[in-house]
């Protein structure tokens, strides 16, 4: 059946009404509950981000219809939604697979993310707006709740939101928008990292690292925050990754070698 966490989303959509009852010039627009296709797409998205469906893995429709408790038509439509998002792709003679990340993809994702975060820290630390700091704390609390529940997909989503809140310290709306536009690709990369780290770090340990980052942000020294960020995201998933992914461009290989010596 669909993941129970989707119930919150259903209720939210049911209650979402735009417009004002006092506005006589236009009728309010009522947004209905999500369709079965939307719920299936959201569940599949969580399975991919959470690592239940791995990059390059073939999507077996018969298995998923049983897991999700739906028929093939809404499942196939949900897969088309994910294909438009770039999370899955059609491959001749193989069917639908989870989009694999190449080494060059990972290089681009990691370097762009790092540059966005560096710019945000230079603009946003020391923190001058208490509301921006409160947003970081709320995101950290959400991460903690997901860790305590052992919900890995939710934890990855909330970890991403924490990093968005750190970027939000800059007060730079376009920077945050650009960072958020990378969400699905970043979360795929974070999922790889999280799975690699599980051998030596629990979710609680990961929360502790993020707590430390926020403490350093509170101290108000931008360079100290940048130094912490440089080692914050231990990239255990890069160990031997050239043997498991394609896309070995010269620039990506040079970047990978630098990561291993820095």
DSSP secondary structure of 192-251: HHHHHHTTT--HHHHHHHHHHHHHHHHHT-HHHHHHHHHHHS--GGGTTGGGT-----HH
Buried b / exposed e over 219-228, threshold 16 CB at 10 Å, is eeeeeebbeb
pLDDT value, residue 126: 97
Contact 168, 71 (CB under 8 A): no
142: phi > 0 → left, psi -120 to 50 → alpha, else beta; which? alpha
Query: How many domains would you assign to the chain?
Result: 2
Domain of 68 in residue numbering reads as 6-98
Chosen domain end from 98, 114, 149: 98
| Statement: residue 99 has pLDDT above 80 | yes
Chosen domain end from 98, 128, 152: 98
Range in 75-84, 100-109, 169-178 with the lowest mean pLDDT? 100-109
What number is the average pLDDT over the span 4-8?
Answer: 46
Summarize pLDDT for 174-221 with one digit per residue, the tens: 999 999 888 777 777 766 665 655 666 688 988 999 999 999 999 999
Same domain, 198 and 240: yes
Summarize pLDDT for 31-51 with one digit per residue, the tens: 455 689 999 998 998 888 777
Same domain, 130 and 187: yes
Chosen domain end from 98, 124, 140: 98
Same domain, 136 and 120: yes
Summarize pLDDT for 205-262 with one digit per residue, the tens: 889 999 999 999 999 999 999 999 887 765 666 777 787 788 899 999 999 888 878 7
pLDDT value, residue 21: 44
Residue listed under structure tokens 């020294």: 221
Q: Is 1 within a domain?
A: no
């Amino acid at each position: 059946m669909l993941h129970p966490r989707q119930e919150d989303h259903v209720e939210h959509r049911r209650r979402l009404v735009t417009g004002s009852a006092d506005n006589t010039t236009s009728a309010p627009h009522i947004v209905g509950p999500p369709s079965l296709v939307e719920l299936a797409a959201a569940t599949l998205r969580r399975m991919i981000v959470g690592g239940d469906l791995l990059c390059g893995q073939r999507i077996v429709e018969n298995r998923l219809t049983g897991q999700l408790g739906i028929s093939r038509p809404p499942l196939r439509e949900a897969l088309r939604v994910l294909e438009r998002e770039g999370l899955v792709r059609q491959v001749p003679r193989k069917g639908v697979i989870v989009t694999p990340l190449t080494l060059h993809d990972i290089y681009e994702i990691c370097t762009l993310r790092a540059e966005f975060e560096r710019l945000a820290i230079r603009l946003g630390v020391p923190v001058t707006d208490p509301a921006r700091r409160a947003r970081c704390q709320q995101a950290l609390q959400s991460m903690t709740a997901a860790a305590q529940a052992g919900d890995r997909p939710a934890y990855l989503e909330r970890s991403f939101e924490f990093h968005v809140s750190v970027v939000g310290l800059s007060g730079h709306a376009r920077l945050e928008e650009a960072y958020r536009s990378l969400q699905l690709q970043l979360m795929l990369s974070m999922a790889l990292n999280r799975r690699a780290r599980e051998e030596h770090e629990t979710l609680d340990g990961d929360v502790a690292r993020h707590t430390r980052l926020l403490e350093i942000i509170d101290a108000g020294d931008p360079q100290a925050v940048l130094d912490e960020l440089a080692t914050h995201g231990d990239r255990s998933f890069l160990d031997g990754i050239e043997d498991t992914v394609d896309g070995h461009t010269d620039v990506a290989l040079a970047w990978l070698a630098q990561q291993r010596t820095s």
